[in-house]
Amino acid sequence: MTSLSWPWRWSWPGRLGKAVDPYVAALLGTVALAALLPASGRAAGVVGGAADLAIGLLFFLYGARLSTREAVHGLRQWKLHLVVGASTFVLFPLLGLAAGGLAPFLLTDRLYTGVLFLCVVPSTVQSSIALTSTARGNVPAAICAGTYSSLAGMALTPLLAAWLIGSSAGFSADSLLSIATQLLLPFAAGQCLRRWIGGFTVRHRRALGLLDRGAILLVVYTAFSRGMTEGVWRQITPLRLLALLSLAAALLAVALVTTSWAARRLGFSRDDRVTIVFCGSNKSLATGLPMAAVLFGESAGPVILPLMLFHQLQLLVCTLIAVRWARRRTGSTPLTSAHTATP
């Protein structure tokens, strides 16, 4: 753990002039690169193949890192995990359906598809743990809640997407088969080999983390390049982008308020309420982007935009909330950065 830096940064010393998340900057730079130099023709095929390999490697490493013993041990707090799961896979999809009224007027069909996909993506692991740690919440429960959500999402996300989005978005049984072959099989292989390579993933966590982020950037570049070559970004006017940002903010606000209210009504302790709020309101960019690339293929560009916007909003808003809660608890600035804490 490191000392607290500017709330929405990952690791740099806390000065306003340096308060730019390097990963956010990398994401924006990747989008700009795709806009200026999109991969097309033979290059598009090479980049797409590299992205597919990167996604498989990403989920292989996820499987190699997951401690099955710790995941089973965390089942003791099953009520907390049920609340988090209900928020992630019930509340959010219902909110996505309720947002359908905006689709004909302010959002294109592809952007609304992205909103629905955002609503079925599992909770994030690292950010939920770090935010819970910053706010002095129940960190072990956050580790397990994020892990369970990710595991459940491998099955529930494609199934819910098939139900909510259906054939109108080009969704088919082939998409579900792709999830099984490109995501679940590498994940299962990583779990099977964890006994031999688990120590390696722990010792080289920092280097492998860079590999994870590089794979996600490659997915973003591939998706946005396809969108540029097909001209789909011309349909996204500033008004539609503003509407999408406002909708993402509304989804986050409703999730934060609802999880906080439910945790209080159900009688959870203060530390458990912190865990429920952050795990139940966050969505995983690291899991969602590869899934979108597999499920939607060449039309993934506009679909991933709502998730990217929501991800940045959740980091900003939830970090500020975590810092405020920590100050209420301790009466001073917390010692953990919401983006540098790790389990």
Note whether 80 and 272 are within 8 A (CB).
Answer: yes
pLDDT digit string (tens) for 189-238?
Answer: 888 888 888 888 878 888 887 887 788 788 888 877 877 776 666 667 88
pTM: 0.79
pLDDT digit string (tens) for 76-131?
Answer: 888 999 999 999 999 999 999 998 877 777 788 888 999 999 999 999 887 888 89
Residue 279 — very low, low, confident or very high, per pLDDT cuts 50/70/90?
very high
pLDDT digit string (tens) for 294-309?
Answer: 888 777 778 888 998 8
Place of tokens 């439910």: 262
Sorted by where each starts, the structural domains of the chain and their CATH numbers stand as 25-330 (1.20.1530.20)
Q: What percentage of the chain carries pLDDT values higher than 90? A: 24
